[in-house]
Amino acid sequence: MLKYFAVTAIALTSVASAHAQSSLVQQGHAVADRACNACHLKGTIEAPSFAALAKRGTVTEAGLGDALGHGHEMSPITLPPEERRALAAYINSLK
Ligand code: HEC
């Protein structure tokens, strides 16, 4: 069920993502909406919300690559480094 929602969300929001390119944080927000927020916007029983991750203060581009590459629910989700960098900036802005 979650996976179905995630795939639908990815399909629906990729069109909108072209708008928010004016800063790294906005870019990261768009990537999150497209690929992550189906599970991480508010979090689920298993997935922590991105706001909770931001408070832990450990989100980095490399860390995201690691989390996505190994044992993630949707593994492997692959994002180019610039999208991971934008995502890290966005997640850390949620503190
Ligand atoms: C289908 C639901 C789903 C989607 C989509 C998803 N995640 Fe997750 N994510 C999870 C779940 C469940 C966990 C916790 C269990 C695990 O690590 O697999 C998790 C864990 C994580 C963690 C590790 C959290 C920790 O406790 O250290 C990070 C970082 C993360 N996700 C980032 C992302 C990013 C970035 C995206 C988008 C590119 C994304 N996730 C998309 C479900 C999802």
Number of domains comprising the chain: 1
* Range name among 12-16, 28-32, 67-71 with the lowest pLDDT average: 12-16
Domain range enclosing 56 = 2-92
The overall average pLDDT reported for the chain is: 81
Q: What is the pLDDT of residues 46-55, one digit of tens each?
A: 899 999 999 9
Task: Give the per-residue pLDDT at 69.
Answer: 80
Residues with CB under 6 A from ligand 1: 2-3, 6, 35-36, 38-40, 46-48, 53, 64, 67-68, 71-74, 77, 79, 87
Question: For a pocket test of ligand 1, which of 64, 72, 77, 87 has the largest count of ligand atoms closer than 8 A to its C-beta?
Answer: 72
Contacts of 65 (CB under 8 A, 6+ apart): 79, 81, 84
Task: Give the per-residue pLDDT at 71.
Answer: 65
Phi, psi torsion values for 60, nearest 5 degrees: -135, 165
